């Protein structure tokens, strides 16, 4: 018996859908606080030394955290080729904007302290702000557009046609989701700074983090209300074969009001996702107010898990709906790689993902502790 046959095709597809969610949540939970710290930098740091303290809380770890984004992109390429083709080509300008913003981060870290000129350093501080704000906003905007459906279609020969534009992505609901993403990551970045700093920097971090947590609650509730009242979801009306061919054109799909909430009615236990999003955000708010250190960071990650996973379970089995040709919508059951490819990738992931997690944990253990002004001003240190 071929080893790959130990796990049937439908189960492998479901496993990779879960793994894709794990990678995306891992990126948001780890690199997310890096983005949040970058957005907070010009506001929390009131002096050059304070801003250096803020920068040095993420300077040693941001590169390792960004590995989750790279692995996520690679997983989409290997496990869901049509999803990769549509999203990375249709969202080309948006992806380019994210890439350009992310490039500002290493450049900002390296060049900021090369000159003593306050204007020079202030310029790089705002570059680091841009490197956090733009990706956070566009990732949220992308999720908002996915929930509404993306204007793409497949021809009968499976050629892909994208009929949208960059500015078409900036619609009101997508921008609402973008602002939710920004506030969520600012909340998480504040929790990180509350843990890694003390004094006035930590005080300001708790203050801004509390505001961001309240905004996250309001925006999350508003997005859910708009999704329920004004945006129709997608539903498959034809027979579903979890082990069927990877051809999205073989199914029929309709749009219905409230369809994105049908999974919660069918499986009430899935409500744990939005509940964790709400409770995690509330716990982060009260943790920051109570001057706790580790708790707000942990509850912030729970909030991120709940908010992002609520999108995934709401849409299941859809992963990228089409707004102009419903049957072209990509689902878990008709847009994956072959059975053998998914199995090989699962084996590779089972080997290397624990290594990544172990190495990341070791790095955080080694770098545990607070960053203070004395440390960053010490001439013998290697601080930014």
Note the pTM of the prediction, 2 decimals: 0.93
280, part of any domain: yes
Backbone phi, then psi, for 171, in 5-degree steps?
Answer: -85, 165
Q: Within a 10 A sphere around the Cβ of 160, how many other Cβ atoms? A: 14
CA 335 to CA 149: how far, in whole Å?
Answer: 16
41, part of any domain: yes
257, part of any domain: yes
pLDDT digits (tens, 9 = 90+) for 277-307: 999 999 999 999 998 889 999 999 999 999 9
382, part of any domain: no
Looking at the structure of the chain, the number of domains it has is 1
Backbone phi, then psi, for 253, in 5-degree steps?
Answer: -135, 145
323, part of any domain: yes
Average pLDDT, the chain: 91
290, part of any domain: yes
User: What pLDDT is stored for residue 3 in this prediction?
Assistant: 58
User: What pLDDT is stored for residue 376 in this prediction?
Assistant: 74
| Predicted confidence band of residue 184 (pLDDT cuts 50, 70, 90) | very high
pLDDT at 264 over 90: yes
196, part of any domain: yes
For a pLDDT cut of 70, what percent of the chain falls above it?
A: 97
pLDDT digits (tens, 9 = 90+) for 294-351: 999 999 999 999 999 999 999 999 999 999 999 999 999 999 999 999 999 999 999 9
| Predicted confidence band of residue 1 (pLDDT cuts 50, 70, 90) | very low
User: What pLDDT is stored for residue 2 in this prediction?
Assistant: 62
Closest CA to 55 of 128, 123, 120, 118: 128
pLDDT digits (tens, 9 = 90+) for 206-229: 999 999 999 999 999 999 999 999
3, part of any domain: no
Contact 208, 183 (CB under 8 A): no
For the residues 37-58, what does the mean pLDDT come to? 92
Structural domain containing residue 109: 8-377
User: What pLDDT is stored for residue 360 in this prediction?
Assistant: 84
């Amino acid at each position: 018996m071929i080893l790959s046959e130990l796990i049937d095709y439908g189960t492998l597809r479901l496993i990779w859908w879960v793994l894709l969610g794990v990678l995306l949540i891992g990126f948001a939970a780890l690199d997310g606080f890096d983005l949040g710290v970058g957005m907070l930098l010009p506001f929390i740091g009131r002096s050059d030394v304070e801003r250096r303290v803020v920068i040095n809380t993420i300077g040693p770890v941001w590169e390792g955290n960004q590995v989750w984004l790279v692995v996520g992109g690679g997983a989409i390429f290997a496990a869901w080729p049509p999803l990769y083709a549509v999203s990375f080509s249709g969202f080309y300008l948006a992806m380019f904007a994210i890439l350009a913003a992310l490039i500002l981060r290493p450049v900002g870290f390296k060049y900021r302290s090369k000159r003593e000129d306050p204007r020079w350093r202030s310029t790089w501080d705002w570059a680091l702000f841009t490197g956090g704000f733009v990706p956070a906003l566009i990732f949220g905007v992308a999720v908002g557009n996915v929930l509404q459906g993306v204007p793409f279609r497949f021809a009968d020969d499976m050629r892909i046609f994208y009929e949208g534009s960059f500015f078409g992505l900036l619609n009101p609901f997508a921008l609402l989701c973008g602002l939710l993403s920004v506030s969520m990551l600012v909340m998480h970045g504040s929790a990180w700074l509350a843990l890694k700093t003390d004094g006035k920097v930590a005080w300001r971090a708790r203050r801004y983090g509390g505001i961001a947590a309240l905004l996250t609650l309001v925006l999350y509730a508003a997005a859910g209300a708009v999704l329920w009242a004004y945006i129709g979801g997608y539903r498959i009306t034809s027979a579903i074969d979890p082990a069927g061919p990877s051809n999205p054109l073989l199914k029929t799909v309709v749009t219905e009001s409230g369809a994105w909430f049908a999974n919660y009615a069918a499986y009430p236990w899935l409500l744990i996702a939005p509940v964790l999003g709400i409770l995690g955000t509330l716990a982060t708010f009260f943790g920051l107010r109570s001057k706790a250190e580790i708790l707000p960071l942990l509850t912030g990650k729970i909030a991120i898990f709940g908010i992002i996973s609520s999108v995934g379970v709401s849409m299941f089995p859809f992963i990228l709906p089409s707004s102009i040709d419903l049957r072209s919508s990509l689902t878990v059951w008709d847009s994956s790689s072959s059975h053998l490819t998914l199995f090989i990738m699962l084996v590779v992931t089972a080997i290397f993902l624990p290594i990544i997690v172990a190495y990341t944990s070791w790095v955080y253990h080694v770098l545990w502790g607070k960053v203070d002004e004395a440390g960053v001003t010490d001439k013998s240190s290697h601080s930014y």
